[in-house]
């Protein structure tokens, strides 16, 4: 009997130690998930949350809440994550501690659920890289890849003043009559580009030192490895003795981040009115695409 009691006690202590170890590992995995989430690494955060769930044997409301928040961010980037998001919300509502979980966070999840039920999607999110561009432009609350109607609802003042210019059957551009440096391009009812001119026709020297300085500054500001393209254009007046102009454009595109920078250098040699040769530079940046996709 004593041997049996000793064996049972040993098994009890072994199981107790294992449970404590599993609980500690689950907590550690959850803390790592929070760190990854805070760093914007949503897939990694979900991996740690799944590890925490495996250690505990089931997912509680706290784990499922963070998983829903991570899946929401991923679903805004790729709608393939919508179904896992819906499944996580369903599991959250069935969690054993749902009724005692933080009410504010419960409501946040329910808002996501209602949004999905109404629209079937969450729309596109603004990446940190895009946000840095908007910050540089001095604007906020704008997005590409969303319905024009949503942007009109978000910015009624802009669209009530902007002029609409059709560009074929499916495209249109919106510009403010007295502020042509900020434009919104739309195709098939969706915004595909939001751009702003930083400086237009700024006087420069023959080597375009001002234009190149700003171009290189923006290139360094946004970092990464953008694709660079150069386009040359020219015009000759009639008769030719009146000269013409040369127009060189340099374009940077961060394709995977949907950001572009365009700088143009104009050499004006038109001598119709005996004006000296002039040099100007023109810089614009934007989020989206230079051409509709």
**What integer pLDDT is reported at residue 5 of this predicted model?**
46
**What integer pLDDT is reported at residue 265 of this predicted model?**
81
Query: Mutual orientation of helices 42-56 and 61-77 as an angle, nearest 10°?
Result: 150
**What integer pLDDT is reported at residue 97 of this predicted model?**
92
**What integer pLDDT is reported at residue 125 of this predicted model?**
62
The SS3 assignment for 142 reads: coil
Encode the chain (293 residues) as per-residue pLDDT tens digits.
Answer: 445 444 444 434 444 444 456 678 889 999 999 998 888 888 999 999 999 999 888 889 999 999 999 998 888 777 788 889 999 999 999 999 998 999 989 998 998 888 777 666 665 566 677 777 777 777 767 778 778 887 887 788 888 888 899 988 888 999 877 665 788 999 888 888 888 887 766 788 888 888 888 888 888 887 778 888 888 887 776 655 656 667 788 888 876 667 778 888 877 776 555 667 788 887 888 877 655 54
**What integer pLDDT is reported at residue 11 of this predicted model?**
39
**What integer pLDDT is reported at residue 272 of this predicted model?**
54
Q: Which two tokens stand for residue 174?
A: 């919106």
Q: Which two tokens stand for residue 113?
A: 């659920």
Query: What one-character DSSP code corresponds to residue 59?
Result: -
The SS3 assignment for 280 reads: strand
CA 20 to chain centroid: 42
**What integer pLDDT is reported at residue 287 of this predicted model?**
79
- The whole-model pTM stands at 0.50
Count CB-CB contacts under 10 A for residue 184.
Answer: 25
What is the rounded end-to-end Cα distance, in angstroms, of the chain? 79
């Amino acid at each position: 009997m004593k041997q049996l009691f000793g064996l049972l006690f040993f098994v009890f202590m072994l199981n107790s130690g294992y449970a404590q170890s599993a609980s500690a590992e689950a907590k550690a995995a959850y803390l790592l998930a929070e760190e990854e989430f805070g760093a914007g690494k949503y897939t990694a955060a979900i991996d740690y949350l799944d590890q925490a769930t495996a250690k505990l044997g089931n997912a509680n409301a706290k784990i499922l809440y963070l998983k829903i928040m991570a899946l929401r961010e991923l679903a805004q980037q790729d709608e393939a994550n919508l179904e896992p998001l819906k499944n996580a919300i369903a599991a959250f509502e069935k969690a054993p501690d749902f009724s005692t979980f933080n009410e504010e966070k419960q409501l946040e999840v329910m808002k996501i659920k209602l949004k999905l039920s109404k629209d079937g999607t969450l729309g596109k999110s603004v990446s940190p890289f895009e946000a840095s561009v908007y910050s540089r432009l001095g604007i906020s609350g704008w997005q590409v890849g969303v319905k024009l109607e949503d942007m009109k609802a978000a910015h009624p003042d802009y669209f009530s003043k902007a002029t609409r210019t059709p560009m074929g059957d499916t495209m249109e551009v919106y510009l403010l009559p007295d502020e042509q440096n900020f434009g919104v391009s739309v195709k098939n009812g969706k915004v595909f580009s939001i751009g702003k001119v930083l400086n237009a026709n700024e006087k420069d020297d023959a080597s375009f030192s001002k234009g190149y300085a700003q171009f290189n500054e923006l290139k360094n500001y946004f970092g990464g490895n953008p694709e660079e393209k150069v386009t040359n254009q020219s015009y000759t007046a009639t008769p030719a003795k009146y000269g013409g102009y040369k127009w060189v454009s340099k374009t940077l595109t961060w394709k995977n981040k949907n950001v572009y920078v365009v700088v143009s250098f104009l050499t004006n040699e038109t001598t119709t009115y005996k004006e000296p040769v002039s040099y100007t530079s023109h810089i614009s940046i934007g989020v989206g695409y230079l051409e509709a996709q």
